[in-house]
């Protein structure tokens, strides 16, 4: 089966199944209305790769859904994927299967730190990191990112100071970064890793946005050096790149034997060590046959980003675009509009009819920004932008151009 690029243009009615992103009650609860462009959940409005749908159909047709063994061929396919695309080699046996990435993060934090310990994060960053730390009674320690000439940069001097505190035991690296779409350059990863290793701060890397990048590939932090691979745990998953959030499992790669054993034992003890048969089928198809589709969807997303970039420049010049290097999440800068937090929420929800994530959800460093998701058919994006333009025109007489 071949995927034609125009497939991404066709609208799938996602309300036929109980879709979180489109759920009226949930949107009503969060935004106070459900008559909005749903752009607040990080999944795509596209059908999955035909190769994955076919693999799932074959698995359904088989008709027996009893226990499956843990698949060596799946682990091998994942290791080959990372070797071929990212020159990161690891032993397939070093992969631990987990139900979800947030579960992987929660387990790693609980295993490799204690209550009250500090865990360093780099805001503005995916808000669930904060929720996991709060639930695990860890202290959130910020190493805020800095926006310099349109690009977010790490603050290494500040990182030196927070890693020097012996009570700060872990750092969660978001690579590439959600919501900023930043692909961290090798030199930044090398510097971050050197600082963390020197100060005994173990790195937990969330790399689930690594497969969709717009200029070249991302670098897995564990591939930086042998020492880094031994002092990090990497969370990977096909859920973002292949749009499988409702079906696929996630994985952790841990090279250090003792830490890997601690983690594997925990999953065994908790009896969370049986894979879902559909997850197995979908993941194997993704990692063995999904690459052409992934390239096509990335091209389509690149096109949507270009449309958004041109639109903002032409129609809403006070809304600045932070160029995404990865993922379908785009970080918009509203600070020049002069709207305060409450006015910005009213503008986005009531005027522009957008269910998007206000920047302060990602930490106070995100105030004045918002994250939108452009992984939708172009006609939906156009409709959303028409509403944004109307809203902008409506308030622009009061804006300082």
Ligand X SMILES: Cc1ncc(COP(=O)(O)O)c(C=O)c1O
CA angle 378, 9, 315 (to 5 degrees): 10
In angstroms, give the least distance from the CB of 210 to ligand X: 10
| Closer of 126 and 300 to ligand X (Cβ) | 126
String of contacts with ligand X for each residue 90-109, x by CB under 6 A:
----------xxx-------
- Binders of ligand X among residues 40 to 59 (CB under 6 A) are 42
- Binders of ligand X among residues 145 to 174 (CB under 6 A) are 174
Query: What is the bridge-based pairing of β-strands 250-254 and 95-98?
Result: antiparallel
8-state DSSP, 20 = T
| Closer of 181 and 392 to ligand X (Cβ) | 181
For 234, the token pair is 């990497």
Single residue of 126, 293, 321, 361 touching ligand X by CB under 6 A: 126
8-state DSSP, 347 = I
In angstroms, give the least distance from the CB of 112 to ligand X: 18
Single residue of 245, 286, 330, 356 touching ligand X by CB under 6 A: 245
Return d(Cα 241, Cα 230) in angstroms, integer. Answer: 26
Return d(Cα 5, Cα 296) in angstroms, integer. Answer: 6
Single residue of 26, 113, 143, 178 touching ligand X by CB under 6 A: 178
239 contacts ligand X (rule: CB under 6 A): yes
121-150 as b/e: b if 16+ CB within 10 A: bbbbbbbebbebbeebebbbbbbbbebeee
Single residue of 45, 206, 255, 365 touching ligand X by CB under 6 A: 206
In angstroms, give the least distance from the CB of 329 to ligand X: 8
211 contacts ligand X (rule: CB under 6 A): no
Q: How many CA atoms lie within 13 Å of 28's alpha carbon, on the beta-carbon side?
A: 3
In angstroms, give the least distance from the CB of 288 to ligand X: 21
Sign of CA dihedral 360, 132, 91, 239: negative
| Closer of 40 and 231 to ligand X (Cβ) | 40
Report the candidate in 317, 322, 319, 334 with the shortest Cα–Cα distance to residue 150: 322
Neighbours of 46 (CB within 10 A): 23
Residues of the shown chain interacting with ligand X in the complex, contacts defined by CB under 6 A? 42, 100-102, 126, 174, 178, 206, 208-209, 237, 239, 245, 250
């Amino acid at each position: 089966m071949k995927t034609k690029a125009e497939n991404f243009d066709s609208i799938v009615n996602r309300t036929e199944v109980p879709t979180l992103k489109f759920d009226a009650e949930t949107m009503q609860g969060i935004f106070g209305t459900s008559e909005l462009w749903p752009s607040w959940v990080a999944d795509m409005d596209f059908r999955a790769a035909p190769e994955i749908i076919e693999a799932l159909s074959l698995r359904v047709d088989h008709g027996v859904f009893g226990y499956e063994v843990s698949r060596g061929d799946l682990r091998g396919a994942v290791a080959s994927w990372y070797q071929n695309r990212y020159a990161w080699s690891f032993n397939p046996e070093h992969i631990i299967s987990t139900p979800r990435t947030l579960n992987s993060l929660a387990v790693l934090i609980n295993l490799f730190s204690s209550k009250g310990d500090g865990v360093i994060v780099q805001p503005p960053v995916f808000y669930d990191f904060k929720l996991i730390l709060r639930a695990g009674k860890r202290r959130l320690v910020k190493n805020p990112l800095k926006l310099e000439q349109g690009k977010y940069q790490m603050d290494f001097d500040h990182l030196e100071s927070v890693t020097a505190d012996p009570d700060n035991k872990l750092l969660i690296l978001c690579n590439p970064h959600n919501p900023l779409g930043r692909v961290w350059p090798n030199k930044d990863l090398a510097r971050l890793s050197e600082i963390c290793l020197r100060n005994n701060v173990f790195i937990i890397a969330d790399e689930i946005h690594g497969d969709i990048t717009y200029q070249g590939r991302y670098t897995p932090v564990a591939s930086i050096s042998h020492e880094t691979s031994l002092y990090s745990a990497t969370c990977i998953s096909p859920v973002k790149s292949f749009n499988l959030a409702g079906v696929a499992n996630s994985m952790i790669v841990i090279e250090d034997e003792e830490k890997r054993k601690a983690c594997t034992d925990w999953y065994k003890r908790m009896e969370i060590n049986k894979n879902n048969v559909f997850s197995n089928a979908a993941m194997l198809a993704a990692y063995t046959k999904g690459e052409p589709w992934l390239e096509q969807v990335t091209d389509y997303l690149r096109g949507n980003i270009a449309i958004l970039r041109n639109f903002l420049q032409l129609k809403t010049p006070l809304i600045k675009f932070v160029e995404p290097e990865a993922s379908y999440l785009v970080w918009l800068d509203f600070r020049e509009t002069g709207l305060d937090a409450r006015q910005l929420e009213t503008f986005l929800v009531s005027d522009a009819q957008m269910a998007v994530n206000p920047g302060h959800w990602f930490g106070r460093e995100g105030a004045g920004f918002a994250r939108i998701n452009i992984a939708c058919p172009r006609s939906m994006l156009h409709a959303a932008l028409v509403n944004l333009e109307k809203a902008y025109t409506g308030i622009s007489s009061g804006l300082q151009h």
